[in-house]
Amino acid sequence: MKTIIKILFLILINVDSIGQNIDIQAKIKYHTEKAQNYLDKEKSLSGFYSIDADGIKMYASPKDKLSNKTEFVIRWGQIENFNNLLEFNSATSMLAKYNEGQLKGFPDGIYIATKKITPEKKLTGYKIALDPGHIANDPETGDLEKKYLKIKGDNINGIKDSIEIAEGMLTYATAKLLKSKLENEGATVFLTRSGDKCSFGKTFAQWKKDDLKNAVDSLFKIGELKASQKQYFLSKKVNDRDIFRVIFKDLELAKRAEIINNFHPDLTVVIHFNVDETNLKWEKTSDKDFDMTFVAGAFMKNDLSTKEKRFEFLRLLISDNLEKSISLSASVIKSFESELNVPTANIRDAKYLTEGCIMAANGVYCRNLQLPRYIHSPIVYGETLYQDNINECKSLNAESDKTKNKRIQQIAEAYFKGILEYTTTLSSK
């Protein structure tokens, strides 16, 4: 009898380990295909990672991979822990864990309980971050950040008076309208900027006064600025457009990612309006008009040059942020299509799509933009319509308070419906 039990026991263990092997084989296959199909645009990054029976390993360089010198190792049994940690920890503390070379203090199979959502309204319990693209609250600032178009009136294109549009004013009005729709359904909503204040909580002019010197000093210290540049940016000769382009822009984007991550959203919506990229200067109108959305991924051959970037690559590979972003974006683009009457862009409709993106779903493109790369939540980065399109610029020109503009109201509604569709699908799973 004892022998039979023993044999049975051995068979059970064997079946179990066969089951585990199949499970691990499936995980290897899933993550290898995910890296190749969504994250590695030029098929040039395999020297930075490996995916095998042990788990996922990251390397600082292809040379390190050859000599088996890992930068970070995560075992298959730790993936769930890692994802739970991501949800509750700051980006800085996650990067610190990456720096330790492995996930310490978290043995396989133990994880933190996730939060429970009790649905009173459709979005009760949801935390949603909205990021209205750019900073302009007036045409002058739009011109400073070069997210501005001015089209002169003429009879040929049927525009009576000239048209002036600053993208930052459109994105902010959209975010404000969307915020109140989401809040009405019970969501807690966070906006990265407000009125004329950027994500640093102040105007560009005030930031320049308070923070430019420190920013220049620290960029010089880490080798991002040369001595001659430092001198220029601290001199009286410096102009605002250079300060904006070289110093302010990326720091302000990094701030957006930081405050969004500190909010720990369930999803993030980045709001932009597009233009025809071949219609440079945007002084005349274009016939083209498209919608598209971006998610993270499509890293290029030089895109894993820092530890921080390699960490984000790993995060995208092992968390389900990317899968959720694709599904959120697919819902949003479907809603754009039905609400806005604008065609969805095909990969051949713009040069940056063909050259820098991987198509993940209809109208959803992986692209290695700063915000999708650094924001630790499912994200949709929306680019609705072409502002320089002849009909769109006429509609967008109406109303000085853009929250009263009909086209902007339609766009906020389109985002709202797309988000609702996504969360409904999620909760029915």
Length of the chain equals 429
Contact 208, 310 (CB under 8 A): no
Identify which of residues 86 and 296 has a Cβ nearer to Zn ion in the complex: 296
Q: Least CB distance from residue 309 to Zn ion, whole Å?
A: 22
Q: Least CB distance from residue 293 to Zn ion, whole Å?
A: 13
Query: For Zn ion, which residue of 133, 168, 265, 418 counts as binding (CB under 5 A)?
Result: 133
Identify which of residues 133 and 363 has a Cβ nearer to Zn ion in the complex: 133
Q: How far apart are CA 429 and CA 409, in angstroms?
A: 31
Q: Least CB distance from residue 387 to Zn ion, whole Å?
A: 9
Identify which of residues 266 and 392 has a Cβ nearer to Zn ion in the complex: 392
For 51, 85, 319, 366, the CA distances from 110, given in Å and listed in that order, are 22, 11, 16, 32
Give the binding range for Zn ion (CB under 5 A) out of 39-47, 110-118, 131-139, 259-267: 131-139
Q: Least CB distance from residue 388 to Zn ion, whole Å?
A: 13
Ramachandran angles phi, psi of 40, nearest 5° = -110, 90
Q: Least CB distance from residue 171 to Zn ion, whole Å?
A: 7
Query: Could you tell me the sign of the dihedral formed by the alpha carbons of 374, 375, 377, 383, in that order?
Result: negative
- # of chain residues touching Zn ion (CB under 5 A): 2
Q: How far apart are CA 284 and CA 409, in angstroms?
A: 25
Give the binding range for Zn ion (CB under 5 A) out of 176-184, 196-204, 271-279, 358-366: 271-279
Give the binding range for Zn ion (CB under 5 A) out of 133-141, 193-201, 244-252, 258-266: 133-141
Identify which of residues 272 and 324 has a Cβ nearer to Zn ion in the complex: 272
- Work out whether 417 is an interface residue with Zn ion (CB under 5 A): no
For 69, 76, 87, 292, 407, the CA distances from 12, given in Å and listed in that order, are 37, 22, 36, 51, 63
Contact 331, 414 (CB under 8 A): no
Identify which of residues 272 and 310 has a Cβ nearer to Zn ion in the complex: 272
Identify which of residues 85 and 257 has a Cβ nearer to Zn ion in the complex: 257
Q: Which residue in 106, 99, 50 sits closest to 71, CA to CA?
A: 99
Identify which of residues 233 and 415 has a Cβ nearer to Zn ion in the complex: 415
Identify which of residues 138 and 154 has a Cβ nearer to Zn ion in the complex: 138
Beta strands at 55-58 and 72-75: parallel, antiparallel or unpaired: antiparallel
Q: Which residue in 309, 324, 315 sits closest to 265, CA to CA?
A: 324
Q: Least CB distance from residue 253 to Zn ion, whole Å?
A: 11
Q: Least CB distance from residue 147 to Zn ion, whole Å?
A: 6
Give the binding range for Zn ion (CB under 5 A) out of 130-138, 222-230, 384-392, 418-426: 130-138
Beta strand spans in 62-176 (E): 72-75, 127-132, 148-151, 163-166
Closest CB to Zn ion belongs to which residue? 272
Give the binding range for Zn ion (CB under 5 A) out of 67-75, 267-275, 322-330, 364-372: 267-275
Interaction residues for Zn ion, span 181-220 (CB under 5 A) = none
Q: How far apart are CA 114 and CA 101, in angstroms?
A: 25
The two tokens of residue 216 are 């220049």
Q: Least CB distance from residue 168 to Zn ion, whole Å?
A: 8
Q: How far apart are CA 86 and CA 96, in angstroms?
A: 12
Query: Could you tell me the sign of the dihedral formed by the alpha carbons of 38, 326, 260, 138, in that order?
Result: positive
Query: For Zn ion, which residue of 272, 288, 376, 407 counts as binding (CB under 5 A)?
Result: 272
Identify which of residues 208 and 272 has a Cβ nearer to Zn ion in the complex: 272
Q: Least CB distance from residue 217 to Zn ion, whole Å?
A: 29
Q: Least CB distance from residue 333 to Zn ion, whole Å?
A: 17
Q: Which residue in 111, 306, 284, 156 sits closest to 222, CA to CA?
A: 306
Contact 129, 374 (CB under 8 A): no
Q: Least CB distance from residue 134 to Zn ion, whole Å?
A: 6
Contact 348, 380 (CB under 8 A): no
Identify which of residues 31 and 272 has a Cβ nearer to Zn ion in the complex: 272
Window 222-261: contact mask with Zn ion (x via CB under 5 A): ----------------------------------------
Identify which of residues 134 and 334 has a Cβ nearer to Zn ion in the complex: 134
The two tokens of residue 307 are 């530890």
Q: Which residue in 207, 248, 213 sits closest to 233, CA to CA?
A: 213
Interface contacts to Zn ion, rule CB under 5 A: 133, 272
